[in-house]
Amino acid sequence: MNYQETVDYLFSQLPMFQRVGAAAYKADLSNTIALCELMGNPQNEFRSIHIAGTNGKGSVSSTLASIYATCGYKTGLFTSPHLKDYRERMRINGEMIPEKFVVDFVEKYRHAAAELKPSFFEFTCAMAFAWFAEELIDMAILEVGMGGRLDSTNVVTPDIAVITSIGYDHQQFLGETLEAIAAEKGGIIKPEVPVVIGHNILSVQEVFGKIANLRKAPIYFSRSSSAEFATDLQGSYQLENMRTVSRVIDVAKKLGHNITQDCVEKGALNVKKNTSLRGRWETIGENPRIITDVGHNEGGVRMVVEMLSKQSFVRLHIVWGMVGDKDAKTILALLPTSATYYWCKPDVPRGKDLRELSQEALKFSLEGKEYPSVQAALAEAKKKALMNDLIFVGGSVFVVAEVI
């Protein structure tokens, strides 16, 4: 198989949560453990920082990867989902995994996959571990896919565990309360491994405190940190993320990691350049200004709406699409009623039915029209918007992926 055929195989043969939802979710680590054992347990061949959370984990992961690479570490970065290219999920010092490695890995382990029946994420996670081990990296920054306790990445014993802010998302798998969700995310806390906790309400902090205490894991909170560096990532919500990063760096220095203030500052100012992170309050057009953001759950959308309220514009146009398993009513209730809406459905099986979305939106006085695709919705918004208007594109990672 060539690279495109290989990627087609991955997407078509392995259940992919991002595309099909619950059918791809595996509620245990047995497949990941079996795959890793088959490969000689590559996840034990490198040091790592392991990052869970509802919102902010992508920004924190990418910022840490940029800082470590700037400090001279050969740094692996594992994130999800990808926006354009499957290989975005696995990088070393900013460079994506080679197409040849992907092809060779799939060819080598596809028969084992046929027997084990791993999910897309389980197989991809194993691939990342194998590549990082083969490349003899110094540090891996590993972003949890979903939850923590049962996530495929949770077969590592990291130098530091990190948990960013907790909000409502994937409740059907993680629990109906913030405390229950926190307990699942807290599953990445390992015995005697320090853990850094981002901004959270007191009851959530207490959940993490209890888990850390049981596992004799030193616990640090980002509230006791003041980020003394700037970042090239846009959005006021990045301040909390940088506080978390700052606290992680404090702990890393205690562990003897060779991190200097100079490379922290340079790394934080070059996150997008060093990791190609996109879709975080990103401006993709001018006259009229077009901004996109991947915030898609209640906490993420709250931050988006807060940012929109701080912008200057004459009229606000919002291109919006969602996936069907999100709590649409809670999220739609947050959106500004003064905007003109362009409803669309992202081109994935999980995409929320267009008519259903627009009808639910009317209950919250959100006025707009339906469009057959994300591109058609954005084209119409561009046609209607004047130079001093603002167009925002969001609601789903998949909507953002189609416009950048």
Q: Which residue has the tokens 């058609």?
A: 376
Q: Is the pLDDT score of 345 beyond 70?
A: yes
Per the prediction, the chain carries an average pLDDT of 93
DSSP state string for 32-85: HHHHHHHTT-GGGSSEEEEEE-SBSHHHHHHHHHHHHHHTT--EEEE-S--SS-
Contacts of 327 (CB under 8 A, 6+ apart): 168, 171, 298
CATH class of the domain at 282-403: alpha beta
Give the tens place of pLDDT for each residue, 192-208: 999 999 999 999 999 99
For 350-373, how does the pLDDT look when each residue is reduced to its tens digit (9 = 90+)?
899 999 999 999 999 999 999 999
CA distance 133 to 42: 6
Query: Token pair of 102, please?
Result: 């992907």
C-alpha 275/C-alpha 370 separation (Å) is 35
- 334 phi/psi in degrees, rounded to 5: -85, -20
Distance in angstroms (rounded) separating the CA atoms of residues 73 and 70: 7
User: Which of 252, 77, 54, 59 has the alpha carbon at shortest distance from 161?
Assistant: 252
State the average pLDDT over residues 224-233: 81
CA distance 214 to 376: 53
Peptide bond into 346 cis (omega under 30): no
Helix-then-strand count for the chain, H and E:
17, 14
- pLDDT tens digits, residue range 239-266? 999 999 999 999 999 999 999 999 999 9
Give per-residue pLDDT as tens, 126-141: 999 999 999 999 999 9
Is residue 313 helix, strand or coil? coil
The type of residue at 388 is N
The CA distance from 11 to 303, in Å, is 32
From-to residues of CATH 3.90.190.20 in the chain: 282-403
Neighbours of 99 (CB within 10 A): 16
Q: What percent of the chain has pLDDT over 90?
A: 84
> What CATH number was assigned to the domain covering residues 3-275?
3.40.1190.10
If we measure between CA atoms, which residue out of 172, 176, 165 comes closest to residue 295?
165
pLDDT one-digit tens code per residue, 6-61: 999 898 877 654 444 445 455 679 999 999 999 999 999 999 999 999 999 999 99
**All CATH 3.40.1190.10 domain ranges in the chain, comma separated:** 3-275
3-state helix, strand, coil in the chain (%, to 5): 50, 15, 40
